[in-house]
């Protein structure tokens, strides 16, 4: 379908449009290329990180699910998967709860020092992770929390809170606070008003923030290197150890599963974004 340009566009404007579009495609392909290489290599029958002659010739015998079966058969990978989901789920619950409460409070016009508090809450996204990990390690050692599940959950929750605050705050920008005060005027308690009126309207933002918090916890490796003990290895930590100790395509198989998980999350986030836009459209029409 041919793109329709405005009548005032000159030749240079059109060249700039196509040049920007072409540059974006090149950059996107450059970013996706490593993913396109990892996926077929994860089905390599041989224990190599390169394409064999049989793979290039599309020989069915050169492809196998051998490394995916290795994940199930390896106790270290099973433990890492369990730890990643266990830590990620509880960290997400804490981050979503705290982040939503913080976003609701920061959205109030009566909130004092709003900008400074917002900057403090978003600081985990700005400060380098190595600094956060080192500070948490020295803090945790005083309370014997290093090498514990509780310590990792709290640390991962601290990284996820900023994402929840950003997404929920963006959802609250289109929320009419008069609805909240109307609920209070009808005799409902603040808690009941929040869950019956406010929360249904901001639910897409809360779910999106929770998903970002979970992915942040699921992919985190720096904090795990500093704070986790031998029994708290997560998937990224196990992949890091595999690259140093025993390199085999099992790591590529795990990476492929992580890519598939990320794609599912992206489609879910896009669906939530469109649903939120539809709800806002209905609200504006009414």
The answer to the question of residue 31 being in a domain is no
pLDDT tens-place string over residues 152-205 = 999 999 999 999 998 888 887 767 777 777 777 787 777 888 788 778 778 888
C-beta of residue 175 within 8 angstroms of C-beta of residue 280: no
63 φ/ψ angles, rounded to the nearest 5 degrees: -110, 145
Number of domain units in the chain: 1
The answer to the question of residue 7 being in a domain is no
Instruction: Please say if the pLDDT value at position 110 is more than 70.
Output: yes
The answer to the question of residue 101 being in a domain is yes
Instruction: Please enumerate in sequence order all residues whose Cβ is within 8 A of that of 100, keeping only pairs 6 or more positions apart, or say none.
Output: 164, 168, 202, 206, 209
pLDDT tens-place string over residues 60-92 = 888 888 888 888 888 888 898 899 999 999 999
**Beta carbons within 10 angstroms of residue 11's beta carbon:** 7
Phi-psi region of 58 (alpha: psi -120 to 50; beta: other; left: phi over 0): left
The answer to the question of residue 151 being in a domain is yes
The answer to the question of residue 91 being in a domain is yes
Range with the largest mean pLDDT of 181-185, 214-218, 229-233: 214-218
* Residue 182: CATH number of its domain: 1.10.3720.10
The answer to the question of residue 169 being in a domain is yes
pTM of the predicted model, to two decimals?
A: 0.79
The answer to the question of residue 123 being in a domain is yes
Instruction: Please say if the pLDDT value at position 272 is more than 80.
Output: no
- What percentage of the chain exceeds 70 in pLDDT? 93
At residue 279, the pLDDT reads: 62
The answer to the question of residue 26 being in a domain is no
At residue 282, the pLDDT reads: 52
Domain that holds residue 208: 75-285
């Amino acid at each position: 379908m041919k793109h329709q340009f405005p009548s005032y566009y000159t030749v240079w404007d059109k060249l700039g449009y196509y040049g920007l579009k072409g540059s974006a495609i090149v950059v996107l392909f450059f970013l996706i290329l490593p993913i396109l290489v990892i996926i077929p290599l994860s089905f390599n029958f041989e224990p190599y990180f390169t394409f064999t002659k049989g793979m290039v010739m599309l020989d069915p015998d050169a492809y196998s699910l051998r490394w995916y079966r290795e994940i199930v058969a390896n106790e270290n990978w099973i433990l890492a998967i369990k730890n990643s989901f266990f830590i990620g789920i509880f960290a997400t619950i804490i981050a979503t709860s705290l982040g939503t409460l913080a976003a609701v409070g920061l959205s109030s016009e009566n909130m004092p020092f709003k900008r400074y508090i917002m900057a403090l809450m978003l600081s985990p996204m700005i400060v380098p992770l190595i600094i956060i990990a080192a500070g948490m390690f020295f803090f945790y050692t005083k309370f014997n929390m290093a090498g514990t599940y509780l310590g990792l959950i709290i640390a991962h929750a601290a990284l996820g809170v900023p994402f929840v605050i950003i997404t929920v705050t963006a959802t609250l920008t289109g929320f009419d606070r008069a609805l909240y005060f109307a609920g209070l005027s009808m005799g409902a308690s603040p808690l009941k008003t929040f869950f019956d009126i406010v929360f249904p309207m901001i639910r897409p933002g809360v779910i999106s923030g929770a998903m970002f918090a979970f992915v942040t916890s699921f992919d985190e490796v720096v904090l795990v290197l500093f704070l986790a003990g031998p029994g708290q290895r997560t998937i990224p930590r196990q992949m890091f150890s595999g690259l140093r100790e025993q390199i085999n395509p099992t790591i590529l198989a795990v990476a492929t599963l992580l890519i598939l998980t990320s794609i599912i999350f992206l489609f879910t986030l896009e669906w939530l974004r469109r649903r939120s836009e539809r709800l806002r459209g209905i609200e504006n029409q009414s």
